Structure 1
Amino acid sequence: MAERRAERGLGWTGREFEVTVGPVAHGGHCVARHEGRVVFVRHGLPGERVVVRVTEDRHPGFCRADAVEVLDASPARVERPCPYSGPGRCGGCDWQHVDPAEQRRLKAAVVREQLARLAGLEDVEVAVEELPGGPLRWRSRARFAVDRSGAAGLRRHRSHDVVVLEDCPITVEPAAAAALQRRWPGAGAVDVSVDSTGAVTTTRLDRQGRPTSSRVVRPGGDLPEEPVGRAERHAGGRDWEVEGTGFWQVHPAAADALVEAVTAFAGVRPGETVLDLYAGAGLFGGALAPAAGREGRVVCVESDAGACAAADANLADLPQAEVWQGDVDAEGLAELLGDLGAPDVVVLDPPRAGAGRAVSALLAATGARAVVYVACDPAALARDVAVFRAAGYELSAVRGFDAFPMTAHVECVALLVPGSPSSV
């Protein structure tokens, strides 16, 4: 019985006590300590003295808590602009109570801490750059959960409970209205996006997350429901078409910012071979192809069939660009490299879990003169950077972008170049 109790924590759930909040940590919380245990505190800020209420206690070494009363506030604390934000409420935003400039400083601190702890890199220079548009009404695509009554909203933090919303202040108004001002009986979720033309696509998903139908409403009128809607985007000086539920940066300014950063770091030269992994609809490959010239080669690799079809169409006017469909795993990548040979430049934009040790090691073994890594999770980035460092690459530069204001998420672009092998 004692062993089971230790495995599940100490039974602190619901307990309230006072703590002084310590440094920010990865995941949208800060670290505090109480009676020898770590307390991961949401809705607090470093240096604040707060009363916390324990929300989850499943491990002997730590528990999770919300700051429910602020005794000594940080100068960076502000009034929450969203009425649904706060302890025990919507879990969609982490930093509604924080001044936007301080949010960026906290995110930069998290990136530095992850690189230090997981990749052995101390004092990395990184700043998280503000994107145009402000901290609200930036989200051009969102997925809302649907409760059993058909009402849409977002889930409480670390919960399946749906908080029904009338509005979501970080989502652009046409998208928020399209999803939240109607009922969705029988649906498990609704995905909504607004493209560069102002068209609003709403996609109904079943309870397994599979799209069932879409509706596209354009400025001049709506179209009939169809299995999968299409969205038009503009970035990097080009027009793009993607599936309504296909991957695209949700902040309207993010795609351009990332293209600029990737292009500058890659420095593609005429005649070079570029390998673009997790290529999606071809955004980075399309941006880099002109620099490679007609004698160059840009190979875009993507596993999703719909994204590959979109990339084929988007890159049809670039003769040096190719689209290969396949999984980016150790087996598939080894086969691809056997056919392609060693690339000069590698660009990868993996999912949140990162590329992983096996893929990172294979890419490092190519000896590419530049590896440009686009990451939406600093911990995954740091783990993969450690693999590259062990294989002889150095982290030359990293830039952060505040592509997700009011949340703890941050987008990073890192440049890795051949250097000296590391023991990390």
Structure 2
Amino acid sequence: MQAEPTTSLVGEEYEVEIGPVAHGGHCIARTAEGQVLFVRHALPGERVVAKVTEGEEGARFLRADAVRILEASKDRIEAPCPFAGPGRCGGCDWQHAKPGAQRRLKADVLAEQLRRLAGLTPEEAGWDGTVVPAEGDKLPAGEVPQWRTRVQYAVDAEGHAGLRRHRSHEVERIDHCMIAAPGVSELGIEKHDWAGMESVEAIAATGSQDRQVILTPRPGGRLPLVELDKPVSVMRVDEKAGGVHRVHGRPFVRERADGRTHRVGAGGFWQVHPKAADTLVTAVMQGLLPRKGEMALDLYCGVGLFAGALADRLGDKGAVLGIESGKRAVEDARHNLADFPRVRIEQGKVESVLPRTGITEVDLIVLDPPRAGAGRDTVKHLASLRARRIAYVACDPAALARDLGYFGENGYRVRMLRAFDLFPMTHHVECVAILEPAEKGI
């Protein structure tokens, strides 16, 4: 039997009352007929005209933009960035909200995810309900922190650099990104011709003057002869082989955190906010309280940020095992931690490598999994190691809450949770949860 054709509702407008914030940078509303709308560029309590951007009749929900504000929230401001707004750059979700309101929205999302997916109230999670700004980011409304030390620009068909529009491959041309760190802005990426390129990533290291530009050509595209405003290393991504090749300069940047310098190879992961690495190391170490001589795991360890912090505090008789899937990141981690003889870094997926180690118990665990989280099976294995404390670093509140629920099923409770606004103007929030065996009591 042939399915009935559906009618697109893209472009339809509805006058709606905006309800609570939802995970993902939008708020929830309903049409007069009861259809659910996920509305961007709105704030809770507002009355707006919402224009549908995605969806069709009979869909579970529609996506929409608030294109006219009929009754504004007291938390609304005019977006400082000229490229923000409906149909424009998709990088920032909350340009139209006061900085304090942005953090309250993120706190509301985190609280809702904890309640729905982990069955935890903020009090049960040891969380005071606040999202804390990074040092130096508490600015008046209308002022924007310049925090993004890594910016990936898309390139349009004419060779102009810009940023992707929300849920789109279309490029919004820009002449400046307001949240870019000064070290990125000074490269002047936006004013050069990048014809033949698919994307241009600009990196400004923290704690060193290292600057790097990573070019991804379109199929058949040649590297442009561009002289940037500052000396940089230039890398080329070979999409077919998946490799990153040096064109000019060092194949890495040097990032500084926790009193140590870390080599981060081209395309490798490092926290984007200049204060993030130190902020997270401090939160993790304060939560774990490492003791001399203990054994620790650092899972999804990247270039060894937490492994190095642990090794430094565990002393000569302590030991750390790091596990990381990325080959280049493992090479960097081994280089960064070469002065710690009792640190070992293994390459592979955590769920594959950890069982092969034969480890049956540890004292401490740090895990900083990708956005999807660690998952039920990995959490079950970690719980079986009976660590006295576990630090879970998360960039996605839904994945965090799911995994905290799994830890609860396996005999661990959340002792403390802290939330940090390390991605101002966006919906993202970074969390550190400290867990311990439930039998220790409340």
Report what 2:379 is aligned to. Answer: 360
Offset at residue 149 of structure 1 (A): 2.1
Distance 1:230 1:68 in 2: 44
Aligned in 2, Cα 1:101/1:11: closer, same or farther, shift over 3 Å?
A: same
The DSSP-based 3-state class of the residue aligned with 1:280 is coil
Distance 1:267 1:106 in 2: 31
Distance 2:225 2:259 in 1: 28
Distance 1:118 1:79 in 2: 34
* Residues 25-40 of structure 1: pairs in structure 2 closer than 5 A: 25-34=22-31, 35-40=33-38
Report what 1:131 is aligned to. Answer: 134
Report what 1:201 is aligned to. Answer: 212
Given that 1:188 and 1:205 are in contact with CA atoms closer than 8 Å, whether structure 2 keeps it comes out as yes
Deviation by residue 1:94-136 (Cα, 9 ceiling, x = unmatched): 0000101110111011111101111111244332110123343
Query: Which stretch has the larger CA shift, 273-282 or 340-349?
Result: 340-349
Matched, 1:335 2:356: yes
Matched, 1:11 2:11: no
Q: Percent identity?
A: 48
Given that 2:212 and 2:233 are in contact with CA atoms closer than 8 Å, whether structure 1 keeps it comes out as no
Report what 1:179 is aligned to. Answer: 189
Corresponding letter in the other structure for 1:129: V
Offset at residue 56 of structure 1 (A): 0.6
TM-score using structure 2 length: 0.88
The DSSP-based 3-state class of the residue aligned with 2:366 is strand
* Aligned with 1:161 (options 153, 170, 175): 170
Deviation by residue 1:347-398 (Cα, 9 ceiling, x = unmatched): 0001111111211111112111111100000001111111111111111111
Aligned in 2, Cα 1:3/1:136: closer, same or farther, shift over 3 Å?
A: farther
Corresponding letter in the other structure for 1:27: G
Given that 2:296 and 2:320 are in contact with CA atoms closer than 8 Å, whether structure 1 keeps it comes out as yes
Report what 1:397 is aligned to. Answer: 416
Report what 1:120 is aligned to. Answer: 119
* Residues 4-403 of structure 1: pairs in structure 2 closer than 5 A: 4-5=4-5, 11-34=8-31, 35-58=33-56, 60-124=59-123, 125=127, 126-134=129-137, 135-176=144-185, 177-195=187-205, 196-207=207-218, 221-222=231-232, 227-228=245-246, 229-329=251-351, 331-336=352-357, 338=358, 340-403=359-422
Distance 1:222 1:94 in 2: 31
Distance 2:436 2:405 in 1: 13
Report what 2:140 is aligned to. Answer: none
Given that 1:21 and 1:44 are in contact with CA atoms closer than 8 Å, whether structure 2 keeps it comes out as yes
Distance 2:300 2:355 in 1: 15
Distance 2:64 2:27 in 1: 10
Given that 1:205 and 1:213 are in contact with CA atoms closer than 8 Å, whether structure 2 keeps it comes out as no
Distance 1:272 1:86 in 2: 51
Distance 2:227 2:368 in 1: 28
Consecutive unaligned residues of structure 2, counting only runs of 5 or more, are 138-143, 237-244
Deviation by residue 1:122-164 (Cα, 9 ceiling, x = unmatched): 2443321101233431101111112222221111111111111
Offset at residue 225 of structure 1 (A): 6.0
Distance 1:239 1:215 in 2: 30
Offset at residue 4 of structure 1 (A): 4.5
Offset at residue 316 of structure 1 (A): 1.2
Distance 2:224 2:260 in 1: 28
Distance 1:4 1:414 in 2: 48
Aligned in 2, Cα 1:120/1:238: closer, same or farther, shift over 3 Å?
A: same
Deviation by residue 1:62-115 (Cα, 9 ceiling, x = unmatched): 101101111111111111111000001111110000101110111011111101
Distance 1:122 1:108 in 2: 12
Consecutive unaligned residues of structure 1, counting only runs of 5 or more, are none
Aligned length: 411
Distance 2:202 2:270 in 1: 12
Distance 2:15 2:234 in 1: 56
Distance 1:167 1:217 in 2: 15
Corresponding letter in the other structure for 1:83: P
Given that 2:215 and 2:235 are in contact with CA atoms closer than 8 Å, whether structure 1 keeps it comes out as no
The DSSP-based 3-state class of the residue aligned with 1:154 is strand
The DSSP-based 3-state class of the residue aligned with 1:110 is helix
Superposed CA RMSD: 2.3
Matched, 1:407 2:431: no
Distance 1:397 1:85 in 2: 36
Aligned in 2, Cα 1:11/1:187: closer, same or farther, shift over 3 Å?
A: same
Distance 1:157 1:224 in 2: 28
Aligned in 2, Cα 1:4/1:27: closer, same or farther, shift over 3 Å?
A: farther
The DSSP-based 3-state class of the residue aligned with 2:68 is strand
Given that 2:52 and 2:63 are in contact with CA atoms closer than 8 Å, whether structure 1 keeps it comes out as yes
Given that 2:292 and 2:315 are in contact with CA atoms closer than 8 Å, whether structure 1 keeps it comes out as yes
Deviation by residue 1:7-63 (Cα, 9 ceiling, x = unmatched): x6x632111121111111000001111111111110000011111101111462210
